[in-house]
Chain A
Amino acid sequence: GQNIDQPTEMTATEGAIVQINCTYQTSGFNGLFWYQQHAGEAPTFLSYNVLDGLEEKGRFSSFLSRSKGYSYLLLKELQMKDSASYLCATPDSWGKFQFGAGTQVVVTP
Chain B
Amino acid sequence: EPEVTQTPSHQVTQMGQEVILRCVPISNHLYFYWYRQILGQKVEFLVSFYNNEISEKSEIFDDQFSVERPDGSNFTLKIRSTKLEDSAMYFCASCQTADYEQYFGPGTRLTVT
Contact = CB atoms under 8 A, between A and B. Distances in A.
Interface of A: 30-31, 33, 37, 40-45, 48, 87, 91-102
Contacts of A37: 43
A100 B91 contact: no
B48 A95 contact: yes
Contacts of A101: 41-42
Q: What class of interface size applies to chain B in its complex with A?
A: 20 to 34
Nearest to B30: A95
Given A95-B33, A96-B56, A43 B45 contact: no
Nearest to B107: A42
B106 A42 contact: yes
B108 to A, nearest CB: 11
A42 B48 CA distance: 18
Contacts of B79: none
A100 B42 contact: yes
Given A41-B107, A42-B107, A92-B56, A97 B42 contact: no
Contacts of B44: 99
